[in-house]
Amino acid sequence: MENKSDFKSFIPPYKVAPEITVSSIIMGVILAVVFGAANAYLGLRVGMTVSASIPAAVVSMGVFRFVLHKNSVLESNIVQTTGSAGESLAAGTIFTLPALFLWAAEGKMDKPGIFEITAIALIGGLLGVFFMIPLRNALIVKEHGKLPYPEGTACAEVLLAGGKGNANASKVFVGMGIAALFKFIIDGLKLVAGEISFRFRNLSGEIGTQIYPAVMSVGFICGPRISSYMFAGGLLSWMVIIPLVALFGANITLYPGTASVGELFASGGAGAIWSTYIRYIGAGALAAGGVISLVKSFPLIVRTFAHALKNLKGEENNKKDRTSKEINIKIVLVGVLVLTLLVWLIPAIPVSLIGAAIIVIFGFFFATVSSRMVGLVGSSNNPVSGMAIATLLIATLILKLTGAHGIEGMASAIAIGSVICIVSAIAGDTSQDLKTGYILGATPKNQQIGEFVGVTAAALAIGGTLYLLDSAWGFGSDELAAPQATLMKLITEGVMGGNLPWNLVITGVIIAVIVEILGIPVLTFAIGIYLPVHLNTCIMVGGVLRLAFEKLSKNEAEKKALVDNGLLFCSGMIAGEGVVGIILALLAIFGIDNLIDLSEKLNLSQSFMSIGGIVLFLILIILFLFINKTRKGELKSKIQ
């Protein structure tokens, strides 16, 4: 891997280029609002959001080159930094705050006001950026070459390909075209299944894979080692724990299930057991993994803060080169203090002084954990809802012990969990953006300002977006199932009511401890437990493809060339799928997505769509190998 001492950014520190301009800020604000609204709908409908960094970068490159007739890499970087904040803020908001709407629908409380939603989103977003500022040197700079930050690296490759205007661009844009076509066939035309599952006759477990190019690309970028740890966690949950639960609990009704395990399995298969029970185990493992990660990182964090505190005199920051300048630590400390007080003092936000203290402590904790996790598996797979679950478990318990109870206590817990969820999502997004900037040679201070602008713009729009969606379909409906928010509601009610399945949570904690003792990266493994095995399998396929490239290369030069080509191609595939994902989300918001849905019009059976999915996935793998095999022949002549 590349060492920090050997690293040279694309634009050197001594060169000053346009970054924050009127056009870059305006474009970034527009994309932040659009991506925020699109991902709010998408996340409430399917429980997942689409990373917007690369789509924003691609859009900005196109506008700057073909509309404004200029090629400005760092301006495009500010656009993607600002625009991607909308997607992350939406993710943190929709995973929690709809729980308040669900209680309102049950007549337990009034709907949250737009001002309350905006204030919670804005404070959480700003805290996420503030918490990440003093961590940049430790996690982005000093860990360069160790933490891959797949989407941040991919975004940099996309911008570099566009900026260089050479053959590298073709690798990126070929990947974009292929992934865009695949995404449109799977989720637009819906001609094939996006997920394939295989069940076993004498085993209640399930294995399968998604067939999305972007997910496979994350595995290639992360490499076989990280991918295998995630896959191992998925195998443990889906091929060991779920079969054991189905075997020994077949005739037993276990909370939070409302029917026996056997009935649950009969109606929904292994997926029903996973969503009902295993996610609690995954949440416990994630919480324990976060604590372990924080303890192991604590010396580095202390050194980072000690280094940052030197800036209080204002001298060291003046001596730094352009690519090291950040927002002054004085502003960071004052900003965190002011936002903490606002959480407590704003009447519309149902958070006490104790709740504000919880937000600061857990906010910084999960900002650190989130940054490390997205460094491993990317923002799209950052389990912010898992971190929110861990926060809710502890925050609700603390509030209950300090006298808060009933719907007031539960609303306060959701508000706290929402802020933490947004902090985690924004910290992860900021980390990816700062990684992109580090590779390009951007000024961190300018990117941090761009994050603040994007967070503010998205926060001002998210309240109205949630109200419109709730008015149109209602949260918890078939159209907007809001799965994470529903789970947060159940957890909060469970803790306040004293009937939370602590046995499942503690099981996850014990698994995490055992995994750590064995020397396996606990957070990566815990993510594998928490996420669906279908996603882990697709990531594993990407990791295996990279392993094949590394093992089949005849020498180091050829291996580096092949892997670099693969990274460029994967970067393009992430970009292509992301752009089409955003377009499809916008079509869904305007209610015209059904016009291109051919699955019902052609009356396609599920078996036909599954077979089509397998064929399409094999075609994707063959294309991946063929394109890089072609490149291999070209590279041989260059190496020789």
In a domain, 72, yes or no: yes
Mean pLDDT of 250-275: 87
Looking at residue 6, its pLDDT comes to: 67
Looking at residue 640, its pLDDT comes to: 43
Task: Tell the residue number behind the tokens 């001298």, with chain if given.
Answer: 315
In a domain, 56, yes or no: yes
Please, what sign has the CA dihedral across residues 103, 106, 107, 110? positive
Task: Tell the residue number behind the tokens 């067939």, with chain if given.
Answer: 211
Kindly report, residue by residue over 234-258, the tens digit of the pLDDT. Answer: 999 999 999 999 999 888 888 778 8
In a domain, 328, yes or no: yes
Domain match, 484 and 633 both: no
In a domain, 552, yes or no: yes
In a domain, 588, yes or no: no
Q: What's the rounded Cα separation, in Å, for the pair 75 and 187?
A: 32
Mean pLDDT of 470-483: 80
Kindly report, residue by residue over 506-524, the tens digit of the pLDDT. Answer: 999 999 999 999 998 888 8
Residue 377: pLDDT band with limits 50, 70, 90: low
Looking at residue 454, its pLDDT comes to: 96
Which pair of structure tokens corresponds to residue 607? 């078996």
Between 318 and 608, residue with greater pLDDT: 608
Query: What residues does 208 pair with on adjacent strands?
Result: 197
Helix 167-183, helix 213-222: angle, nearest 10 = 130
Residue 46: pLDDT band with limits 50, 70, 90: low
Mean pLDDT of 413-422: 93
In a domain, 580, yes or no: no
Provide the Cα torsion 443, 62, 431, 139; round to 10°. -60
CB 425 within 8 Å of CB 384: yes
Task: Tell the residue number behind the tokens 């519309």, with chain if given.
Answer: 348
Among the listed residues 67, 61, 26, 15, the one whose alpha carbon sits nearest the alpha carbon of residue 161: 61
Number of helices (H) and strands (E) in the chain: give both, helices first. Answer: 25, 2
Residue 284: pLDDT band with limits 50, 70, 90: confident
Q: How many CA atoms lie within 13 A of 151 on its CB side?
A: 34
**Least trusted range by pLDDT, from 170-179, 353-362, 531-540:** 170-179
Q: How many CA atoms lie within 13 A of 317 on its CB side?
A: 18
Last residue of a domain, one of 482, 506, 522: 522
Domain match, 288 and 366 both: yes
Which of 123-132, 378-387, 491-500, 575-584 has maximum average pLDDT?
123-132
Q: What is the mean pLDDT of the chain?
A: 84
Domain match, 497 and 539 both: no
Last residue of a domain, one of 522, 551, 586: 522
Q: Residue 234 belongs to what domain range?
A: 185-258+527-573+596-639
Between 74 and 600, residue with greater pLDDT: 74
Kindly report, residue by residue over 155-205, the tens digit of the pLDDT. Answer: 898 888 766 554 555 777 788 899 999 999 998 899 999 889 988 878 888
Query: Count of residues for the chain?
Result: 640
Mean pLDDT of 444-456: 96
Among the listed residues 428, 342, 355, the one whose alpha carbon sits nearest the alpha carbon of residue 392: 355
Looking at residue 632, its pLDDT comes to: 45
Which pair of structure tokens corresponds to residue 538? 């697709």
**171: amino acid identity, one letter:** K
Q: What is the DSSP letter of 110?
A: P
Looking at residue 233, its pLDDT comes to: 94
Mean pLDDT of 404-413: 90
Kindly report, residue by residue over 100-119, the tens digit of the pLDDT. Answer: 999 999 999 999 999 999 99
Please determine, for residue 316, whether its predicted confidence score (pLDDT) is greater than 70: no
Residue 445: pLDDT band with limits 50, 70, 90: very high
Residue 638: pLDDT band with limits 50, 70, 90: very low
Q: Above pLDDT 70, what percent of the chain?
A: 90
Domain match, 121 and 230 both: no
Residue 621: pLDDT band with limits 50, 70, 90: very high
Burial of residue 433 (number of CB atoms within 10 Å: 0-12, 13-18, 19+) = buried
Residue 147: pLDDT band with limits 50, 70, 90: confident
Last residue of a domain, one of 487, 522, 557: 522
Domain match, 109 and 212 both: no
CB 436 within 8 Å of CB 53: yes
Between 52 and 257, residue with greater pLDDT: 257
Domain match, 306 and 206 both: no
Please, what sign has the CA dihedral across residues 33, 37, 42, 48? positive
Which pair of structure tokens corresponds to residue 12? 């050197």
Q: Where are the beta strands (DSSP E) in 181-302?
A: 195-200, 203-210
Q: What's the rounded Cα separation, in Å, for the pair 209 and 231?
A: 11
* Number of domains composing the chain: 2
Q: What is the DSSP letter of 276?
A: I
Please determine, for residue 139, whether its predicted confidence score (pLDDT) is greater than 60: yes
Domain match, 566 and 631 both: yes
145: left (phi over 0), alpha (psi -120 to 50) or beta: left
Domain match, 32 and 158 both: yes
In a domain, 578, yes or no: no
Domain match, 80 and 110 both: yes
Which pair of structure tokens corresponds to residue 175? 């990947």
In a domain, 324, yes or no: yes
Domain match, 365 and 487 both: yes
Please determine, for residue 450, whether its predicted confidence score (pLDDT) is greater than 90: yes
Kindly report, residue by residue over 55-98, the tens digit of the pLDDT. Answer: 788 788 878 877 777 778 899 999 999 999 988 899 889 989 99
Which of 106-115, 160-169, 278-287, 471-480 has maximum average pLDDT?
106-115
Mean pLDDT of 592-603: 85
Provide the whole-model pTM: 0.76
Domain match, 506 and 618 both: no
Domain match, 286 and 144 both: yes
Which pair of structure tokens corresponds to residue 479? 């159209």
Task: Tell the residue number behind the tokens 């634009």, with chain if given.
Answer: 11
Looking at residue 40, its pLDDT comes to: 86
* Angle, CA of 379, 382 and 385, to the nearest 5°: 135
**108: amino acid identity, one letter:** K
CB 451 within 8 Å of CB 32: no
Between 300 and 526, residue with greater pLDDT: 526
